[in-house]
Amino acid sequence: MRRFTVAARAARVPVLALALALALALASTALAAVESDKVVSTEWLAAHLDDPKVRVIEVSVVPGVYERGHIPGAVNFVWHTDLVETVVRDVVSPERFQELAQAAGIDNDTTVVLYGDNNNWFAAWGAWIFNLYGHEDVRILDGGRAKWEAEGRELSVRPPSYPRGNFEVKTINSHLRVRLADVLDVVTHNKDVAILDIRSPAEYEGRIFAPEGFQELAIRAGHIPGAVNVPWSQAVNPDGTFKSKEELRQLYASVGIDGSKPIIVYCRIGERSSHTWFVLSQILGYEVAQYDGSWTEWGNTVGVPIVNLAGTVWGAQ
């Protein structure tokens, strides 16, 4: 009996070693996708839900998804009313944003964690706005809402209430945003700035004007002259988590985007390019500005050049 016990223990040693190695490998794999202090895991967030210095914000694409269940304690920001000006096509004003942040209980030293549906499209837009208005600690939940739900984590239907925060817009980081005139200056004067179109190849080539079902359209199809194309979705894994830094570096370096010069990103209305802005600037540390006017502005503006590989003109072949 004793020999059996000793043998069993001896047999368990390599098994335990294998299990430990596997656990470390899995942990290493998990960390590979979160090699930035601007990205948090679902495990990290679950452990910090009661931290008064952490505020969770949901910014989702689909209306009503927050009300059907959200991460406990998360505040809902509605992207098309809270984070933009509804009459003038512009981002939310600094005054309105400061009021929004304070009402959410955000202080100047609060760690803000954003998440949303659709692989964090508009969570990234929210992160861009927070950075634009100078908040110092802004992070995104890796994998977003889908990963949190897939892991069976707790959801709440109760909207939270917090004491008013003291956040103030002290700085506007205007270098994070470019306008049509800035992009046109780069194009017409062949400046040493990379332009990255993150839409689908069909949009980039001009085969379609916008993804099916979207109302925001340009009268011309194609892309900004000199722009290269890496669809935003190539930056994430099947579960919506960000790819590793090395994978991301290789992905963008394949089209000449390596951080050696300033980068401008754009899409259709600025939502998808926010995701790429986050990847390039917050994970890879490149110098990146977003052209949020994007193709709906560029493609509709009189007198600006386009490249149309598909030959579509004025909505017809």
What pTM, to 2 d.p., does this model score? Answer: 0.88
Q: What is the pLDDT of residue 35?
A: 66
Q: In Å, how far are 70, 146, 308 from 224, measured between CA atoms? A: 38, 33, 9
Catalytic residue numbers read 267
pLDDT tens for each residue of the chain, 317 residues long:
333 333 333 344 344 444 434 443 344 334 435 468 999 999 999 999 999 999 999 999 898 999 999 999 999 999 889 999 989 889 999 999 999 999 999 999 999 999 999 999 899 999 999 999 999 999 999 999 999 999 999 999 999 999 999 999 999 999 999 999 999 999 999 999 999 999 999 999 999 988 887 777 899 999 999 999 999 999 999 999 999 999 999 999 999 999 999 999 999 998 899 999 999 999 999 999 999 999 999 999 999 999 999 988 765 55
- CA 224 – CA 222 distance, rounded (Å): 7
**CB-CB contact of 83 with 59 (8 Å):** yes
Which sequence spans correspond to the domains of the chain? Answer: 39-173, 177-298
Say which CATH architecture domain 39-173 belongs to.
3-Layer(aba) Sandwich (3.40)
Domains 39-173 and 177-298 share a fold: yes
Q: Name the maximum alpha-carbon separation found in the chain.
A: 90
CATH number of 177-298: 3.40.250.10
Tell me phi and psi for residue 264, to 5 degrees. -115, 130
Q: From residue 247, how far is each of 32, 224, 254, 255 by CA, in Å?
A: 10, 26, 11, 14
Report pLDDT for 83.
93
Q: Would you state the pLDDT for residue 316?
A: 53
* Type of residue numbered 154: E
